[in-house]
Amino acid sequence: MRAYAGQNDTYVPVPSAFSTFNIGDSEVSIIQDGTAVFDASFFGVNADPEDVYALMAANNLSNTVSATLNVILVKTGDRTILLDTGLGLMSLDGTSPPNAGRLTPTLALLGVTPEAITDVVISHLHPDHIGGISDGVTPAYPNAAYYFPQGDYDFMQSGPVGNEQVDGLIGLANSLLAPIQASDQLTVYASDAETEIVPGIFTAPTPGHTPGHVALRAASGDTSFVYTGDAVTNSIISLQHPEYFMGFDAIPEVAVASRRALLDMLASDAAQTFGYHFAFPGVGFVAADGDAFRFTSSL
């Protein structure tokens, strides 16, 4: 159990939803670490909010988005791999418990101990993707190799930028990585070219949301599965208006170019797709729809 500053109660996460299926010879599980709530306009900060709300209404959705935090577990050969780690047992403002931290108890329900994780592959530095890597003192997965994108790592090491929110993010990310570096478990991988990080797990550069953001592809035989990371953050707004900026996009124009290129690839290749923040389980296919795209769930 972990208590939070300013709280008299204790937040105890319990197992949450999961879905398991096969990709070739690999077993993939989607695990919901938790949820985060946003106004829909946050997924289109360069648009008129009323246009975003109208889009949501046209899809019978409200103006409030409950964005899931869906983590991928891949079992392939002798490796048990996590793609990102959710928000973990931290809160975004440091004062109140999030509806998160469910990855670890759900792994236990699946019979996977922290010691069994062999590899942790990180798509980018944001806390809802790296909050579960450590508690700032001890790595969460003691036997794992951790892989972190070079572009984001360089950004974190470049020092304060003079923006309180960004500098707080850099400080948090560095504190979470510190015990992993100290235990010599950290590998920084190239984020500007496709790389096979571990057997069957490939990166695809998609900068913009963060400087070194990558999408990830899990491949087994002739079958593959693409994790968009936060290059695509909402299954309605990001696809029907890929030109919209998401509130956390660090370099918005670059993020738009990466998003459109990734969506073009997903549609043309008919690749099975996974959206971290899509409604659970976030698995389906992207199809071209005029100058935009649409997502169809397949699980």
pLDDT in tens, the chain (299 residues): 343 444 445 778 888 899 999 999 999 999 999 998 999 999 999 999 999 999 999 999 999 999 999 999 999 999 999 999 999 877 655 555 668 899 999 999 999 999 999 999 999 999 999 999 999 999 999 999 999 999 999 999 987 777 788 888 889 999 999 999 999 999 999 999 999 999 999 999 999 999 999 999 999 988 999 999 999 999 999 999 999 999 999 999 999 999 999 999 999 999 999 999 999 999 999 999 999 999 999 86
At the fourth CATH level, which superfamily is domain 2-297?
Answer: Ribonuclease Z/Hydroxyacylglutathione hydrolase-like (3.60.15.10)
pTM exceeding 0.75:
yes
Q: How many CB atoms lie within 10 A of CB 1?
A: 7
Distance (Å, rounded) from C-alpha 292 to C-alpha 294?
7
**In the chain, domain spans:** 2-297
* Under 8 Å between Cβ of 52 and 44: yes
Helix (H) or strand (E) holding 165: helix 164-182
* Under 8 Å between Cβ of 126 and 230: yes
Helix (H) or strand (E) holding 262: helix 252-269
Distance (Å, rounded) from C-alpha 213 to C-alpha 261?
14
Helix (H) or strand (E) holding 169: helix 164-182
- Measure Cα distances from 55 to 61, 255, 277 in Å: 9, 21, 18
Residue for token digits 């809160």?
91
Q: Give me the phi and psi of 242, to 5 degrees please.
A: -65, -15
Q: Give me the phi and psi of 215, to 5 degrees please.
A: -90, 165
* HEC secondary structure over 204-254: EECCCCCCCCEEEEEEECCEEEEECCCCCCCCCHHHHCCCCCCCCCCCHHH
Closest by CA position to 212, among listed 139, 122, 275: 122
Closest by CA position to 209, among listed 126, 143, 144: 126
* Under 8 Å between Cβ of 177 and 150: no
